[in-house]
Structure 1
């Protein structure tokens, strides 16, 4: 293949880094990005400084890639962060806005910067890293789940809009993945004593689940499959756990799914009104 030009945000570690490596090995010319910018070192891809919360930073990085190559064929929106397990009311409005600014509006900024070039060349792929929390609830990570629900709605709508110009948009939905993501979770900024015990319990349960989570390569290989597909779908689960959860969401009675989720997280049962 002629070398296609790919940009992967949040590529300094975890899913982003492995995805950039997989794409590079598959023949793409890859630019990974991170907020601080890091030396490319022995990586098989270049690194660019890019802060997805800054319009100026986004435009500068995209303009640089266009200057060098004149085109962008693939954008993988991966940059994001979460808030450690906590009650939804334990995050201030400012913290809620901050997580949306990166996880959702970061994707919007990147998309708005890249689409004009893809439209001009009448081709392109945008792959947004979502989550099973884009179609499932996650008690005590409500804000993160909300951003991923937003990504799903935006991506599906955008895909319909951009097909006219040969551009397709897909979401990749991993379940729990073994990365440093959990180590970088922000603490809630307005902790309440009422949530202290359950906050600790859910955090411990999440650490247990992550012990058997998928490797980031599972997600990266899914991204490559989507990028190379002649007829991409709007949604792809990544890994067997995510696939099972999607089936449960689609076919299991709501009460069964509800009870299973609470049992898995070891939440105490509450009376039904």
Structure 2
């Protein structure tokens, strides 16, 4: 295991930091990335500068790891931005594009940069951090949910395409996770008075749930499980709530799910 090389994006805090630490403890040699630039190693993790919205930055970071190690065995696409509750109408097109550029196209950039090396070594694993919102979209979370739906579809197609080379792609589906990621969500840039009251109410409810949510270590453990599985599943829910929501989404009538979500968010 000591020869396995992992690259984890968005590893300076939250799920990324917990995942990088857990992988290092399991014996991986881990390179983490941060937009804030290279930092001193911690918890056995070497930190590199990387902005997933920049083609040049992505290529440079991957080239750095390949130059040092000669291979990348595991890519964890974790880097992303949270979006505060808001009506879909309340974000400009520019903001919508920026959210997708990080949460989806950043993942695509990383995958495209790493795949030539994984194909050459005929082995590798790509673990994408998705969300329960990738299969169960919530009101006042349309753009974030849309990026996570894109991650789900991309990962499933990718996994089919790569098996020929001994590469597998999987997606992790956490629910609410108590991390700084959620404390620094991007606010809508085109707010409308018409949504003000309900936006505030949904925000309060999300904050209540976040305060008692499971920590990022739960997601990190799921990532490790997916990374080590001999025959990985395509999807891994992470945490108690995520598992329950996946079961409900699969087996409960649509009307029951609809009513339950609205009740939980205290919508009329």
TM-score by length of 2: 0.99
Tell me which residue corresponds to 1:189: 189
Q: Residues 159-178 of structure 1: matches in 2 within 5 Å?
A: 159-178=159-178
What is the match of residue 231 of structure 2? 231
**Does the alignment pair 1:101 with 2:101?**
yes
For 2:145 and 2:75, locate their aligned partners in 1 and report how far apart those are by CA, in whole Å.
Answer: 22
| Displacement of 1:74 | 0.1
Tell me the secondary structure at the aligned position of residue 19 of structure 2.
Answer: helix
Contact 1:126 1:168 in 2 (8 A): yes
Distance 2:175 2:160 in 1: 26
1:16 aligns with 2:16: yes
- 2:264 equivalent to 1:259: no
Is contact 1:12–1:32 with CA below 8 Å preserved after alignment?
yes
Aligned length: 268
- Is the 8 Å Cα contact of residues 132 and 242 (structure 2) preserved in structure 1? yes
Shift of 1:212: 1.6
SS at match of 1:144: helix
- The answer to whether the 8 Å contact 1:12/1:38 transfers is no
In the TM superposition, what are the counterparts of 1:1-273 in structure 2 within 5 Å?
Answer: 1-268=1-268
Deviates more, 1:36-45 or 1:114-123: 36-45
Compute the displacement of 1:3 (Å): 2.1
Gaps of 5+ in 2: none
Secondary structure at 2:169 match in 1: strand
Equivalent position SS for 1:151: helix
Cα RMSD, aligned residues only? 0.8
Query: Where in structure 1 do 4 or more consecutive aligned residues deviate above 2 Å?
Result: 40-43
**Secondary structure, in 3 states, of the residue corresponding to 2:96?**
helix
1:271 corresponds in structure 2 to: none
**Aligned partners of 2:251 and 2:165: how far apart in 1?**
35
Judge conservation of contact 1:37–1:48 (CA < 8 Å) in 2: yes
| Aligned mates of 1:156, 1:80 — CA distance in 2 | 19
2:241 alignment partner, SS class: helix
Q: What's the CA shift for 1:211?
A: 1.7
Partners of 1:139 and 1:2 in 2: CA distance: 44
Contact between 2:2 and 2:29, CA under 8 Å: does it hold in 1?
A: no
Q: Tell me the distance in 1 between the aligned counterparts of 2:228 and 2:83.
A: 33
Partner Cα separation in structure 2 for residue 218 and residue 210 of structure 1: 14
